[in-house]
Structure 1
């Protein structure tokens, strides 16, 4: 099975349209969005409506949740809040109905493994699960969440980390997958990115050989994206952040 996972579009329509082109080429079996459709850019409604048109299951990121918390006074301020003030009423309603997580269970090789998709962490859409997190603390998160594979975004820095523990001579593997960012990378590479999660049935170890994670990076017309910011009330510092990916 081929599953597409992406996150943190942040209203960057030129990047999102290119991502969808790349995704369509891969002919996936399923597509999931891990949140943050809005913020930092001028195309929130277009991004939201493309998600809805394609019926892509989506969870709420911290920026999506922020929309319902902003006051009228805050929305009227220039600066970064402009990105939220232009969201339409129907689009706001959609954001307020997004779930906090998605679970998918697979029975494979006579075993069951559980995928949990969140935006930040199982506890909060604002918590960062960084690659250098203490291993024992990370494993505890998997146990408490009841997950074998944990997929998330939020930090905009993609990675795949395999953790393991051995109890009574039996080794259990856990996969932590940060899917990166479609529209606002922060790893020094301005290319957009998403993940292809491959699930195979084989006679090997379920948690090692049955799971493959492929990171896709793609170019898009970043000038088209930065010009839209330059022609808007958004701060020009966002242009540099896109160009230098921080």
Structure 2
């Protein structure tokens, strides 16, 4: 069985809890669908944890922003967090982010962060036609921060949701597992207060982290699967 995580976003408290749960489930391998970086303050601890476990990771849009010193075109809040991370990330972790690929395949699961039209920044809307145009039968991506399973004719897709910033109204960290036949979605409660205290110590106001208590975006908006 493998564990599938995504959108950690510098939230080490959430990541630590999810990794602990995956260990308890007995997974043999963990894959990450991108965005280890962005939003919360413990980007080095998150990168270190994934690197130590040799987690197969693809590049997310926030990983790309940080690695390339680019700006997020949609969010001043995201850019404030990226600016902080740019000032604290270690050289080795920055090099690791720069070296991430945009696509990967593990156990015949085709993986990107966003979608196959834009691997970094597509908010994927699953459909039979979409996946019929792609080689392979099993697919997984993140980016939306919303857990979702889709089953079509000969095709299956999994979005494990977000470890570090769930946006579907459930504050628990999200992840998934694959046992060789079936994707299963999981949620686990973690110490949100620890992440909030780390953000406060880094100089951020509650606006940047109070959303974690409600499972929303920064600013309080709940997300859904695009187009559905």
By the TM > 0.5 criterion, same fold? yes
How much has 1:85 moved relative to structure 2? 2.5
The answer to whether residue 164 in structure 2 is matched with residue 177 in structure 1 is no
Question: What is the number of residues matched between the two proteins?
Answer: 207
Partner residue in 1 for 2:174: 193
Residue 111 of structure 1: aligned partner? none
Contact 1:41 1:234 (8 Å CA) reproduced: no
Using the size of structure 1 for normalisation, the TM-score is 0.79
Where structure 1 has 5 or more consecutive residues not aligned to the other structure, the ranges are: 72-77, 106-113, 165-172, 200-210
Inter-partner Cα distance in structure 1 for 2:200 and 2:43: 16
Distance across 1 between alignment mates of 2:136 and 2:88: 37
Find the counterpart in structure 2 of residue 92 from structure 1: 94
Distance 2:23 2:185 in 1: 16
Give the C-alpha shift of residue 174 in structure 1. Answer: 1.0
Q: Which residue in the other structure is 2:190 paired with?
A: 220
More strand, by proportion = 1
TM-score (norm 2): 0.85
Q: Secondary structure at the match of 2:194?
A: helix
Q: Distance in 1 between matches of 2:161 and 2:10?
A: 15
- CA distance in 2: counterparts of 1:239 and 1:41, whole angstroms: 8
1:235 Cα shift?
A: 4.2
1:159 and 2:148 aligned: yes
Distance (whole Å) between structure 1 residues aligned to residue 61 and residue 156 of structure 2: 23
**Aligned to 2:56, what secondary structure does the other structure show?**
coil
Confirm whether residue 129 of structure 1 aligns to residue 124 of structure 2. yes
User: In the alignment, what sits opposite 2:3?
Assistant: 4
Structure 2 gaps, min length 5:
71-78, 217-228
RMSD: 1.8
- Within-5 A mapping of 1:70-109: 70=69, 79-80=80-81, 81-104=83-106
